[in-house]
Amino acid sequence: MKSIFLGTKFSVWLSYFFWLVLYLLPYQKVVNAQIIKDIYHKETGQVEIPFAYVNGFIVLDVVFQKIIPLKFIFDTGAENTILFKREYAEIMKIPYQKRIKIMGSDMSSEIYANICNGVFLQVTNLAAVQYNMIVLEEDYLYLEEYIGATVDGILGADFFKNMVVKIDYRRQVLTLIDPNYFKKDGLKKYQVFDIEVISRKPYLTCTTEVNPGFPTPTRLLLDTGAGISAIFHHNSDSLLNLSNHIIKGNLGKGLGGNIEGFSGKIHSLRFGDLRFDNMIASFQSVDNVLINKDKLVKNGLIGNLILERFDVVIDFYHQKLYLKPYKNYNKEFEFDKSGLTFFAYGPKLRQYYIKFVIENSPAAEAGIQAGDIIMGIGKWSYKWYTLNKLNKIMSSKTGTKRKIRIKRNGEILVKEFVLRDLF
């Protein structure tokens, strides 16, 4: 989740990707089917779960082992449920069944985790259910710094397998629907798409035109665990190589380290009658071994910054996707125009510092450096800002002047710059 502060409403670095190669086949979660069946309302066959939508991430309240309240990200792009902070497992004296090796999101580094069997998880309005869970040996992500909110783990696609899941980004409510009660007649204003569910994760085939005149079919993961618009594996298809202006750098952070790549504007992304033109997207190469052995099942992913522009229904059971676009759903995405990447720290994550500065950006030209502590923006103290708000004001109209007070080596400095389109 780093350096390149690009592309979308909350910038690319706020995303994280769990593209895991897990040696877990004998250890997949087994859920009591009767308990899952009983979670639905007896008359409606569904249940609603409130969530907080924080910087492009869907955050759920979860009770761990019937005692400890935690925050988990709802992540359709991760196959398994993962606990970042092993101290919670150790406080509850949960035994580890097996140590496993995980291929990190940079597709090269190896990290380690442990499997815990029969762990109780209870999501709001649901019964406590026992799962097998992956517990990281270290919190490799420190995701709080990137999104400015507490995050203790991710709730993977295994938790919601074979269900119908509706995501209402405006109301900030997830609705779980029993497939036997799911009624399509209430979805007349939705567009319907066939999807593929592979390893419990949903994939949509789209038409991507990276460069004008060269459309190509792309299989994209529908990833609610990514706070971005879209990312493409440019070495998975020669037509996914972007020829116009790009910005290189770190796209994000996942298990095992930073995700290197670049970002730029693509000509279009289309599925059905829905279309996004001149959209900022990110590009990452993947290990050629995966491509050569036909192990790569996708050309990239679609993240929350596209999905949040729709009412979304994912029918995992029947492998269908329903989308109802909001008004002006394909309006231009907001993107950073300063070159700054902010991280949160301190009590309640309400203090901020500069983690990265893009070369030749307005902030770099003003002399702002990585490590500078934010004291204020304009006339206002940092105390009046959230991380989300800081990102938004750096995504304002081109030509807007920004004055920023920073602390460096104990000295207070004032820097000014003018926002401009980095692309």
Residue 16 pLDDT level (bands cut at 50, 70, 90): very low
Do residues 120 and 21 share a domain? Answer: yes
Do residues 27 and 151 share a domain? Answer: yes
Distance CA 419, CA 8 (A): 15
CB 399 within 8 A of CB 363: no
**Which tokens hold the place of 177?**
């629907």
The rounded radius of gyration (Å) of the Cα atoms in the chain is 21
More confident residue, 185 or 46: 46
Q: What is the CATH number of the domain that holds 32?
A: 2.40.70.10
**241-245, long-range: CB < 8 A, 24+ apart:** 241/210, 241/211, 242/210, 242/211, 242/266, 242/283, 243/211, 244/211, 245/423
Residue with tokens 């770099």: 364
**Which tokens hold the place of 387?**
């991380």
What pLDDT shows up at residue 21? 39
Taking 60 as the threshold, does the pLDDT of residue 29 lie above it? no
Do residues 294 and 362 share a domain? Answer: no
More confident residue, 38 or 158: 158
Among residues 116, 143, 160, the one where a domain terminates is 160
Residue 150, domain member (yes or no): yes
User: What's the total number of domains in the chain?
Assistant: 3
pLDDT tens for each residue of 329-378: 999 888 889 999 899 998 888 999 998 888 889 999 999 999 999 999 99
pLDDT tens for each residue of 371-410: 999 999 999 999 999 998 999 999 999 999 999 999 999 9
CB 246 within 8 A of CB 262: yes
The domain of 65 spans 12-160
Interval 69-80 mean pLDDT: 93
What pLDDT shows up at residue 170? 96
What pLDDT shows up at residue 25? 38
Among residues 263, 289, 310, the one where a domain terminates is 310
Q: What percent of the chain has pLDDT over 70?
A: 82
More confident residue, 13 or 349: 349
Do residues 81 and 147 share a domain? Answer: yes
How high is the mean pLDDT of the chain?
Answer: 83
Residue 332, domain member (yes or no): no
Interval 296-307 mean pLDDT: 89
Residue 330, domain member (yes or no): no
**β-bridge partners, 404:** 377, 415
Output the DSSP codes for 53-73.
Answer: EETTEEEEEEEETTTEEEEEE
Interval 50-60 mean pLDDT: 94
What pLDDT shows up at residue 285? 79
pLDDT tens for each residue of 100-135: 887 655 555 677 889 998 899 999 998 888 888 899
Do residues 252 and 113 share a domain? Answer: no
